[in-house]
Chains A and B, each alone.
Chain A
Amino acid sequence: MIVPLNHILLLSGLLFSLGMFCTLARRNLIMMLLGIEIMLNAAAVAFVGASLHWQQMEGQAIVIFILAVAATEVTIGLAAILVVYRRTDSVDPDMDAALWEKGGSR
């Protein structure tokens, strides 16, 4: 006998809120992407716990797709961050220049 499902869900919720805080509060595009990874991982924990609770393998199958989505998201996200960095020399999400056309004025 191991723990009840609710303890796993509470752990998952705590991880999710940590990732959400990282995404919302950090002033760095790379750390924001890292926060999204933490949130996806928290969702995976919840799915595996639910899979054990109902003795179904659906939950574990979903985790495979979460992994695929996480890999896709981090690849595209890091490439986009690299483009922004080349253009503005900064990974600050509060940047001024990257959101405007080159040579444009506010």
Chain B
Amino acid sequence: MSILTLLFYAIALLIVVATAMAVTRRNMVHAVLYLVLSFFGTAMLFYLLGAPFLAALEIIIYAGAIMVLFLFLIMMIRLKTLPGMFFPVGQLLPAILISAGFLVVSSVMVGRNPAGWAPMPAAQASPLAFGVYLFQTHWLAVEIASMLLLVALVGAYVLGRRVRGPSADAREEAP
């Protein structure tokens, strides 16, 4: 058992524990901070699995941008009465059944693949090679992703505007 294998299991344990803590926290700020820890663990895992560029992106985008967006929203809203943390048992039970069922089914499907039990050799894709590959093979998809982000920008602006009364529209339409 090499040092990389031990490192993988330590990181996997960190990710699972941090995520489990995040989904059961009542305080949303604590949940987001635990999830940031989990994403840092995922970034380390990506580096271990030979994707250093994705490890950097994971920290910058997931842990940096997305989680900070969540923190901004949590700071913006002030909940007067916190709703109950989980749904009542009648709705909680199906949720547990569905997620446990997914776990069982996916584990059985993964376990049936005999080729997947052989340890993989370590390899690394350099950021240069990855960038060249991405822009030579998937340039159209990159452009579509940029359009998607533009749509998100415009959509967030439209949704986030203060909604005025109906008279505002009427005033604008009047000459």
Name A residues whose Cβ lies closer than 8 Å to a Cβ of B.
1-11, 13-22, 24-28, 30-31, 33-35, 37-38, 41, 44-45, 48-49, 51-53, 55, 57, 60-61, 63-65, 67-72, 74-76, 78-83, 85-86, 89-92, 94
Within 8 A of A (CB), among B83-123: 83-87, 91-92, 94-96, 98-100, 102-103, 106-107, 110-111, 113, 116-123
Cβ-based interface call for B175 (8 A)? no
Residue in A4, A11, A63 whose CB lies within 8 Å of B51: A63
B76 within 8 A of A: yes
Given contacts A25-B96, A57-B130, A82-B73, contact A6 B23 (CB under 8 A): no
Whole-angstrom distance from the CB of A65 to the nearest CB of chain B? 6
Give Cα A53–Cα B61 distance, bound, in whole angstroms: 25
Complex Cα spacing A40 to B39, Å: 12
Do the beta carbons of B133 and A20 come within 8 Å of each other?
Answer: no
Number of interface residues of B (CB under 8 A): 89
CB pair A16 B35 closer than 8 Å: no
Question: Are B66 and A71 within 8 A (Cβ)?
Answer: yes
Interface 1/0 per residue, B145-161 and A, CB below 8 Å: 10011011101100110
- Residues on A with C-beta less than 8 A from B20 are 18
**Chain B contacts for A1, CB-based, 8 A:** 2, 4-5, 119-122
